[in-house]
Amino acid sequence: MNQFLPSQPDDQAAFLSAIGDASALMGAGRFQEAIDLLMAMPEAVRKHPVACNTLAFLMLHTDQAKEAVTWFEAAMSVSPGDPQAIKGLGQACHANGEFSRALGCYDILLASVKADQIDVTYKRALLLIDMNNLDAALESLDKVIGLDPAHVLAHAKRSEILQNRGDLQGAIFAAHESCKAKPGDAAGWIRLGTLLQKGNQNGQAIIAYDRGLKIAPDDFSGLYNKALALRDLGKPRDALYFAQKALMVDGTDREVLLLCGSLEQMIGNIEAAKACFRQVAAMGAARHYPAVPQPANSAR
């Protein structure tokens, strides 16, 4: 039996046509148009949990969390135990700042055999981070990793929490585990390199940067931070090479221009150094934030 059949037979063709049109709009990335189409027949949508969930997830995707809550609730009024509706309601409440209610949704799902335990536990961890309950968040992330050792996002979040808590070695270990789980992820290697550099392990940081840059040769953060590491190892010429490559990616970045200037000065290219510094001066007042996250003990 078609899950989208409306209560009135005369409405069936129009409703099914609208669902088909909404699906086509979603496939084309025209999410707001799909929302508007479904909202034009709210009573028909309200009778069908799949249609309610579709509309709600569209709203969640387009940053309309408050409206999404209403439609997930509509789905649950027709199908109270619908795991998709409960998970969606948890996500919408999280986005809407209703943290306690979101946590309740995830806890209901985790008590059910129907739930995707890995996905829900990870979403619960993200919620706990926003609730500043970091011990519980780490416990949830550990559960995710226990269920899926290759869960890159869980390893990365665990590393981030540990770094923010001042546990740099724990953060490095978690970042390394993330790289092992997904060695083809350039961002993971760059993140590991940055953490190693914060711990003054510049040689190991460069190895990590090299792994990341092999995958993503134009990664600005990887190029710039590798230049800093080489500078700190007393290799200004090698450092300048990578600083100039970073400058090719973003020729307007103040920090990399300053780095190029200082490196040119270190190796005796005074006129080239002056040219870099003149470019920086022409940019006017300095910004009050760095262009990219930088390792500790480095030029910012």
The pLDDT assigned to 11 comes to: 66
Average pLDDT score over the chain: 89
| Domains held by the chain: number | 2
Task: Give me the percent of the chain exceeding a pLDDT of 70.
Answer: 91
Enclosing H/E stretch for 31: helix 31-39
The pLDDT assigned to 299 comes to: 36
The domain boundary, picked from 63, 93, 115, lies at: 115
Q: Is residue 183 part of a domain?
A: no
The pLDDT assigned to 17 comes to: 82
Alpha carbon distance 292, 191 (integer Å): 12
**Torsional sign, CA 154, 160, 161, 167:** positive
Q: Are 93 and 85 in contact (CB under 8 A)?
A: no
Alpha carbon distance 231, 5 (integer Å): 68
The domain boundary, picked from 91, 115, 139, lies at: 115
Per-residue pLDDT at 3 exceeds 90:
no
Domain that holds residue 24: 13-115
> pLDDT tens digits for 63-115?
999 999 999 999 999 999 899 999 999 999 999 999 999 999 999 999 987 77
CA 170 to chain centre: 21
Q: What is the mean pLDDT of residues 5-20?
A: 66
Q: Are 250 and 233 in contact (CB under 8 A)?
A: no
Alpha carbon distance 44, 275 (integer Å): 68
> pLDDT tens digits for 162-217?
999 999 999 999 999 999 989 999 999 999 999 999 999 999 999 999 999 999 99
Q: Is residue 159 part of a domain?
A: no
Q: Is residue 2 part of a domain?
A: no
Alpha carbon distance 240, 244 (integer Å): 6
C-alpha angle 106-48-16 in degrees, rounded to nearest 5: 135
CB 97: neighbour CB atoms within 10 A? Answer: 11
First to last CA, the chain: 63
